[in-house]
Amino acid sequence: MKKAVILAAGKGTRMKSSHPKVVHKVCGKEMVNHVIDASDKAGVDETIVVLGHGIEEVKSILGKDVKTVVQKEQLGTGHAVMMADEYIGDEDTVVVLCGDTPLIVSETLVKFFDYHDCGGYAVTVLTTKVDNPTGYGRVIRDQTGNLLKIVEQKDANEEEKAVNEINSGIYCFNGKYLKESLKKIDNKNAQGEYYLPDSIEIIRMSGGKAGAFLGASIEELMGVNSRIQLSDAEKIMRRRINELHMVNGVTIIDTDSTYIDSDIEIGSDTIIFPGCMISKGSKIGSGCKIGPYASIENSVIGNDTSVKKSEIIDAVVGDETTVGPFAYLRPNANIGNNCKIGDFVEVKNAIFGDGSKASHLSYIGDAEVGKNVNIGCGVVFVNYDGKNKFKSIVKDNAFLGSNSNLVAPLIIEEDTFIATGSTITEDVPNGCLAIARERQVLKAGWVEKKRKRDEEK
Ligand code: UD1
Ligand code: CA
């Protein structure tokens, strides 16, 4: 079995955060979950995460089948892997990754695993070349290019420091060799830590073949240790996500102002105008026009729908519907097909049937609105008495005149007509017109009389 051991015990002091480092998000997904998803996609069968700081918080964001072990004290990367010993079998291939390198891509890991498997190696390290290797472990090879060992910055001599091939911190091990070598690692080095890279030399000495695969880009190895690096990683990830959508047939007018989280589906021929934020759990159909300035979170949008300058959260919108400008769809708003939700319309916890329209200035909360219902300008669904919420049901083909109030609980039956300005407090039966307002009174000559009175004062 191919097993991944993901090191995530570190605190991340430089993040200056009360949360453990690896739960910080890049494009809407926790860093450690980016690493897990990339290794899963590359063919890893089982994942073990090594925890140390914020154990419960990290556990709470991990998938159900991810195993965890605890490293109480952070005594080094070798010590961290030792904690996973119980899960490692002699026949396993063990991939070690770090939870704070969210940019690693699965294609690189696939090539790396192939290199390890095909070369018959007991250990393989993924490497890259950089202009400035300061801080990284250096990859030391013999004259013919065979891997000898890795030397940490603080333990390196001048000659070693000049090497610009660096250790990515990602390794493949044969389970048996790994377990044996971990028993022999010591902490007699400049940092007093149990270094995982020391296992390479130990494995070599005990007859195992060690390899170095120069196959990663420096970008994908970027570790996140500070908020500045977090923002850098976000930028790189965002560009990748946008490019993936464009490859899949989505038009993005301005990639610099388009913020799409990881794992979001968008259909082809959808156009994303500038200033949009599409976050976790969202799915957008094909042929849509999104934006400018739309924020869509955890919501599903159908096909050929337009969303302009609006906020949509935990909601569903059907096909060929228009939303906005300036609409606000809140949790459990479920808008049908061919609907119109116009400017300054707020919908919360309401079903809104196919072909229905609320073109301007309405609040629709806790309701079931049927098909082809017309909601006039300024209609308010009065759903709250200060303590409890109540539900309104408005059936098919009802016409709610402008500025009417529906005081819930209420049932407005099919084919009804609510006169403008009505405050409806009782159910309206099928086919009725309901008027609930004062009759108009006309006082002839009243203005003239008032003027005179005012002059006399
Ligand atoms: C490590 C490598 C170095 C490599 C670099 C790549 C060692 C000794 N050195 O150095 O060769 O170039 O990564 O980034 O491994 N961790 C634990 N428990 C521990 C120590 C670390 O879980 O006891 C985790 C950290 O949270 C981090 C990762 O392991 O996610 C790497 O540890 P870190 O101390 O950052 O290693 P580096 O010094 O960067
Ligand atoms: Ca590091």
Q: For 249-288, how does the pLDDT look when each residue is reduced to its tens digit (9 = 90+)?
A: 999 999 999 999 999 999 999 999 999 999 999 999 999 9
Going from the Cα of 338 to the center of ligand 1, the distance in angstroms, rounded, reads 55
Which pLDDT score, from 0 to 100, does residue 457 have?
Answer: 86
Q: Which residues are annotated binding-site positions?
A: 7-10, 21, 71, 76-77, 100, 137, 152, 167, 225, 330, 348, 363, 374, 383-384, 402, 420, 437
How far is C-alpha 174 from the geometric centre of its chain's CA atoms?
Answer: 34
% residues pLDDT > 70 (the chain): 100
Q: Which residues are annotated binding-site positions for Mg(2+)?
A: 100, 225
Tens digits of per-residue pLDDT, 66-100?
999 999 999 999 999 999 999 999 999 999 999 99
Look at the domain 2-214 and name its fold.
Answer: Spore Coat Polysaccharide Biosynthesis Protein SpsA; Chain A (3.90.550)
How far is Cα 381 from Cα 348, in angstroms, rounded to an integer?
10
Query: Residue with the nearest Cα to atom 9 of ligand 1?
Result: 137
Which pLDDT score, from 0 to 100, does residue 37 have?
Answer: 98
Tens digits of per-residue pLDDT, 389-418?
999 999 999 999 999 999 999 999 999 999
Contact 410, 427 (CB under 8 A): yes
- 3-state secondary structure (DSSP) of residue 286: coil
Position 11 pLDDT exceeds 90: no
Residues spanned by CATH 2.160.10.10 within the chain? 310-434
pTM of the model: 0.94
Tens digits of per-residue pLDDT, 288-308?
999 999 999 999 999 999 999
334 token code pair: 């479920």
Task: Pick the atom of ligand 1 nearest to 50's CA.
Answer: 22
Which pLDDT score, from 0 to 100, does residue 143 have?
Answer: 95
**Residue 360 annotated to the active site:** yes
Averaged pLDDT of the chain: 97
Residues spanned by CATH 3.90.550.10 within the chain? 2-214
Which CATH number does 310-434 carry?
A: 2.160.10.10
Task: Pick the atom of ligand 1 nearest to 99's CA.
Answer: 30
Pocket of ligand 1 (CB under 6 A): 7-10, 50, 52, 71, 74-77, 79-80, 98-100, 136-137, 150, 152, 166-169, 195-197, 223
CA angle 396, 419, 427 (to 5 degrees): 55
- 3-state secondary structure (DSSP) of residue 7: strand
Residue 87: name the closest of 168, 23, 6, 30 by CA.
Answer: 6
Contact 137, 154 (CB under 8 A): no
In this structure, how many other beta carbons lie within 10 angstroms of the beta carbon of residue 221? 22
Query: Residue with the nearest Cα to atom 1 of ligand 1?
Result: 169
How far is Cα 392 from Cα 344, in angstroms, rounded to an integer?
20
Task: Enumerate the β-bridge partners of residue 347.
Answer: 329, 364
DSSP for residue 419: P
Going from the Cα of 209 to the center of ligand 1, the distance in angstroms, rounded, reads 23
Task: Pick the atom of ligand 1 nearest to 52's CA.
Answer: 22
How far is Cα 195 from Cα 188, in angstroms, rounded to an integer?
10
Going from the Cα of 223 to the center of ligand 2, the distance in angstroms, rounded, reads 6
Which pLDDT score, from 0 to 100, does residue 280 have?
Answer: 94
Going from the Cα of 277 to the center of ligand 2, the distance in angstroms, rounded, reads 31
Q: Which residues are annotated binding-site positions for UDP-N-acetyl-alpha-D-glucosamine?
A: 7-10, 21, 71, 76-77, 137, 152, 167, 225, 330, 348, 363, 374
Q: What is the mean pLDDT of residues 332-361?
A: 98
Tens digits of per-residue pLDDT, 122-141?
999 999 999 999 999 999 99
- First-to-last alpha carbon distance for the chain, in angstroms, is 99
Ligand with smallest separation from the Cα of 80:
1
Neighbouring residues of 154: CB distance < 8 A, sequence distance ≥ 6: 189, 190, 191
Task: Pick the atom of ligand 1 nearest to 101's CA.
Answer: 30
Binning pLDDT at 50, 70 and 90, where does residue 334 land? very high
Contact 215, 108 (CB under 8 A): yes
How far is Cα 133 from Cα 383, in angstroms, rounded to an integer?
63
CA atoms within 13 A on the CB side of 410: 27
* Residue 147: its H or E element: strand 147-151
Ligand with smallest separation from the Cα of 168:
1
